[in-house]
């Protein structure tokens, strides 16, 4: 466990109890809006990020904060993720689910040092499941160290986020998968998708968008559990190297299979 495991977890539980769960399925119409078409932001996103930012700044005064909502206002803050210590915050992952009164949704926090993912936390406040990882120290779910395992299905289960792809690419992906991969529904929440890869519910995930707040926490967990994440061309997934698209898989062999099917 990271030395800050408990204070960060306590903070996340506080946000879930005082800000998030009291408004679940109770959002008023004026409490959410679209940032861009189909991409919502709520009062919960903003209040959660404000509290997380305040308290995390106290834990590590030397760290900069990169929050999803702060980056929506000033995208340039992401450019310095490779410099020094950074907290990376997704205050409400799965916002669209939340606005529809559905699960899953999560709070996600990553800690990086000079662009290297150092530690991460994901809290599912409904399941009360905490996932945690430390670089070089393993992945833990509800306090127990875990290793990723495949689903064991005849065809590997692939969660593919096609809705951000151009229509022709969506059709190409589905054509390529026939008889080789079983395309399954995505949870619309990276804070749920990465645990699914680790726990054997899914084998592969294909991402079109790779915002650091969506992927820094779960990517570290997956790697520490023995899985692999890399860009579509096989290059490493790094916070400080911009890129589009990534394949995540519960093992290196499944990553190779996904790349061969979907891109070769």
Summarised one tens digit per residue, pLDDT across range 53-101 is 999 999 999 999 999 999 999 999 999 999 999 999 999 999 999 999 9
Question: Do 129 and 71 belong together in one domain?
Answer: yes
User: Is the residue at 152 inside a domain?
Assistant: no
Q: What is the pLDDT of residue 162?
A: 78
* Tally of domains in the chain: 2
Burial 60-95 (b: 16+ CB within 10 A, else e): eeebbbbbbbbbeeeeeebeebeeeebbbbbbbbbb
Least confident of 101-115, 162-176, 184-198, 207-221: 162-176
Do 55 and 138 have their domain in common?
Answer: yes
Other Cβ atoms within 10 Å of 173 Cβ, number:
19
- For residue 27, the domain's CATH number is 3.30.540.10
Residues in the chain: 264
Residue 151 is assigned to a structural domain of this protein: no
- Whether 112 and 173 share a structural domain: no
Question: Are 141 and 191 in a shared domain?
Answer: no
Same domain for 141 and 163, yes or no, is no
Looking at the fold, whether 114 and 192 belong to one and the same domain comes out as no
The band of 37, judged by pLDDT with boundaries at 50, 70 and 90, is confident
Q: Are residues 131 and 200 in the same domain?
A: no
pLDDT of residue 32: 84
- Of 124, 146, 168, the residue at which a domain comes to its end is 146
For the chain, give the percent of residues with pLDDT over 70. 100
The residues that bridge with 142 in the sheet, in sequence order, are none
Question: Which structural domain, as residue segments, surrounds residue 221?
Answer: 157-262
Same domain flag for 249 and 134: no
Residue 10 has a pLDDT of 98
């Amino acid at each position: 466990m990271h030395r800050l495991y408990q204070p960060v977890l306590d903070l996340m539980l506080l946000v879930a109890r005082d800000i998030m769960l009291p408004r679940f399925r109770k959002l008023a119409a004026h409490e959410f809006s679209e940032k861009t078409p189909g991409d919502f932001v709520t009062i919960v996103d903003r209040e959660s990020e404000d509290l997380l930012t305040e308290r995390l700044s106290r834990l590590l005064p030397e760290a900069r904060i990169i929050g999803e909502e702060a980056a929506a206002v000033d995208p340039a803050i992401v450019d310095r993720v490779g410099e020094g210590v950074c907290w990376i915050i997704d205050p409400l992952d799965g916002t669209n689910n939340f606005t529809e009164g559905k699960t899953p949704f999560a709070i996600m926090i990553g800690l990086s040092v000079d662009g290297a993912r150092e530690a991460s936390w994901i809290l599912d406040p409904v399941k009360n499941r905490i996932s945690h990882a430390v670089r070089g120290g393993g992945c833990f779910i509800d306090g127990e160290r875990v290793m990723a395992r495949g689903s064991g299905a005849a065809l590997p289960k692939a969660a593919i986020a096609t809705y951000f792809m151009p229509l022709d690419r969506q059709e190409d992906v589905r054509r390529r998968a026939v008889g080789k991969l079983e395309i399954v529904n995505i949870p619309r929440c990276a804070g749920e998708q990465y645990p699914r890869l680790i726990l054997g519910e899914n084998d592969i995930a294909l991402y079109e968008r790779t915002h650091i707040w969506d992927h820094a926490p779960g990517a570290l967990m997956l790697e520490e559990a023995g899985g692999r994440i890399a860009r579509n061309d096989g290059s490493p997934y790094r916070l400080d190297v911009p890129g589009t698209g990534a394949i995540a898989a519960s093992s290196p062999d499944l990553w190779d299979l996904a790349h061969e099917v979907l891109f070769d």
